[in-house]
């Protein structure tokens, strides 16, 4: 019976191979054979862990969610106020400024497959709604007096901006460079900035 660490090592090897194949070749190139070749193993070993292409895709999506959630947790924890946390979480979510171009390609590949598969679509919706909940909580902390409708619109607009930039930059990074992504996000966040205080104690603006 194989040792637990050997099983985990094999799974890590296959996870990395799945991720690399999907990032480099997209959905059409993700096959059991391609993953086996990248991992330097047999297709039988791949099928033991992931018997179908769908299983490979679900695993790639779960791995993406784990990576981004850990990064978002760290970004939020490093901040002392809600606006700073919102800027940090959304800032690390956009693609090129932080070198996550590979992640965007994986995300796009999974989304393309999810359009034709209810199980994949549900996994995508669950991850997206988790991100929406985090951003909604931070927006509400920045603007506690806003109506529910305004909070929802602002939250979904911010998430749509970030995800849209990721998708567009994945296919055309020259048109959507890091500078443009950062400036677009900064503009969208402008209305959520804490008001400056003047010397007489009143809020400016």
Contact 198, 130 (CB under 8 A): no
Domains of the chain: 1-51 (1.10.10.60), 53-192 (1.10.357.10)
pLDDT category of residue 1 using cuts at 50, 70 and 90? very low
The upper half-sphere exposure of residue 60, i.e. CA atoms within 13 Å in the direction of its Cβ, equals: 32
Contact 68, 103 (CB under 8 A): yes
pLDDT digits (tens, 9 = 90+) for 187-199: 999 999 987 644 4
Distance CA 157, CA 190 (A): 13
Rounded Cα gap, residues 59 and 63, in angstroms: 6
pTM for the model stands at 0.82
Scanning the structure block, which residue is given the tokens 């939250």? Answer: 155
Residue 199: its pLDDT value, please?
43
pLDDT, one tens digit per residue, over 79-104 is 999 999 999 999 988 865 555 677 78
């Amino acid at each position: 019976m194989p040792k637990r660490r050997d099983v985990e090592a094999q799974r890590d090897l296959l996870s990395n191979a799945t991720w690399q194949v999907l990032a480099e070749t997209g959905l059409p190139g993700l096959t059991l054979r391609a993953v086996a070749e990248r991992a330097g193993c047999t297709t039988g070993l791949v099928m033991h862990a992931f018997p179908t292409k769908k299983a490979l895709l679900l695993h790639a999506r779960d791995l993406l969610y784990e990576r981004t959630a850990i990064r978002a947790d760290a970004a939020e924890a490093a901040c002392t106020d809600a606006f700073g946390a919102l800027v940090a979480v959304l800032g690390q979510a956009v693609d090129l400024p932080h070198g996550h171009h590979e992640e965007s390609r994986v995300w796009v590949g999974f989304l393309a497959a999810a359009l034709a598969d209810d199980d994949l679509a549900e996994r995508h919706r669950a991850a997206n709604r988790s991100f929406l909940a985090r951003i909604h909580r931070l927006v509400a902390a920045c603007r506690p007096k806003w109506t529910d409708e305004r909070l929802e619109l602002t939250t979904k607009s911010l998430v749509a901006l970030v995800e849209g930039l990721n998708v567009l930059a994945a296919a055309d990074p020259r048109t959507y460079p890091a500078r443009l992504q950062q400036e677009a996000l900064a503009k969208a966040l402008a209305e959520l900035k804490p008001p400056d205080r003047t010397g007489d104690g009143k809020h400016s603006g």
